[in-house]
Amino acid sequence: MPPISFPDILETSQPADTVRWAADQFGTENLVVTASFEDAVLVHVAATAVPGIAIVLLDTQYLFAETKWFADELTKRLDLNLRIVNPLPHIQPDNLWQSDVNACCNVRKVEPLDRSLQGKQAWVTGVRRADGPTRANTPTASYDIGRNIVKLNPLAAFSDDDMALYAHLHDLPANPLTERGYPSIGCWPCTRPVAPGEDKRGGRWAGSPKTECGLHG
Ligand code: SF4
């Protein structure tokens, strides 16, 4: 797919309008949402804007039990078209996270993501500028040259307060880990709770220079 230009209106669109724009532009069957199930907002936005839209959860073999439970609950409650994508069959739990987090993320996140995006034209994510300094310049729409796909971040401009208000207005539940001090939730070996006021993603790969798993940078 050649790079395309995006209408300026996307930068100020409501999240659901961004997802609807993508469905109109590319066709629902050519869209995929990846969700970490850290919260319910992205999947609610996507599934109410475009019912039946494909939603992918990358099961790294090291997800928190709470996250798996939360994904099940939301799938039933919101009638999500959820697809759980696993690492390739030869990748078995191996404690690689203890010795090489980049290699571990590559086989458990990056390769499964790339496989999930094959044949699709647009990828919808929950990345927000408020996630932290490394995501402060996140656009609503961009072209991922490496993956040859349009990348949409409909929640890019949402603050933490916007997320809380949206969840409140739509009576959405929270991942049980949120109230236990986990504002950012990844795999259990690489995520710790953070103190009030600490960088939200400060509990991810704490003590390591790694800040992203390779999906978004
Ligand atoms: Fe492995 Fe940790 Fe990356 Fe999960 S976040 S894939 S456990 S290195």
Q: Which residue has the higher pLDDT, 197 or 139?
A: 139
- The pTM (predicted TM-score) of the whole model is 0.94
Q: Which atom of ligand 1 lies at the shortest distance from residue 213's CA?
A: 3
pLDDT at 1 over 70: no
How far is residue 162's CA from residue 141's CA, in Å, rounded to a whole number? 19
Q: Which amino acid is at 129?
A: R
Whose Cα sits closest to atom 1 in ligand 1? Answer: 104
C-alpha of residue 105 to centroid of ligand 1, in Å: 5
Whose Cα sits closest to atom 4 in ligand 1? Answer: 187
| Residue 197 pLDDT level (bands cut at 50, 70, 90) | confident
Q: Which atom of ligand 1 lies at the shortest distance from residue 102's CA?
A: 8
213 annotated active-site: yes
Our answer on whether the CB atom of 108 is closer than 6 Å to any ligand 1 atom is yes
How far is residue 193's CA from residue 191's CA, in Å, rounded to a whole number? 7
C-alpha of residue 210 to centroid of ligand 1, in Å: 11
Q: Are strands 31-34 and 81-85 parallel, antiparallel or unpaired?
A: unpaired
C-alpha of residue 162 to centroid of ligand 1, in Å: 29
Q: Does domain 8-190 have CATH number 3.40.50.620?
A: yes
Q: What is the pLDDT of residues 131-168, one digit of tens each?
A: 888 899 999 999 999 999 999 999 999 999 999 999 99
Q: What is the pLDDT of residues 45-80, one digit of tens each?
A: 999 999 999 999 999 999 999 999 999 999 999 999
How far is residue 215's CA from residue 118's CA, in Å, rounded to a whole number? 14
pLDDT of residue 30: 98
Q: Which atom of ligand 1 lies at the shortest distance from residue 186's CA?
A: 5
Element (H, E) at 19: helix 15-26
> What does the buried/exposed string (b/e) look like for 132-163 if buried means 16 or more CB atoms within 10 Å of the residue's CB?
beebeebbbbebeeeeebbbbbbbbbbeeeeb
Whose Cα sits closest to atom 8 in ligand 1? Answer: 101
CB 6 within 8 A of CB 141: yes
What residues does each domain of the chain span? 8-190
| Residue 34 pLDDT level (bands cut at 50, 70, 90) | very high
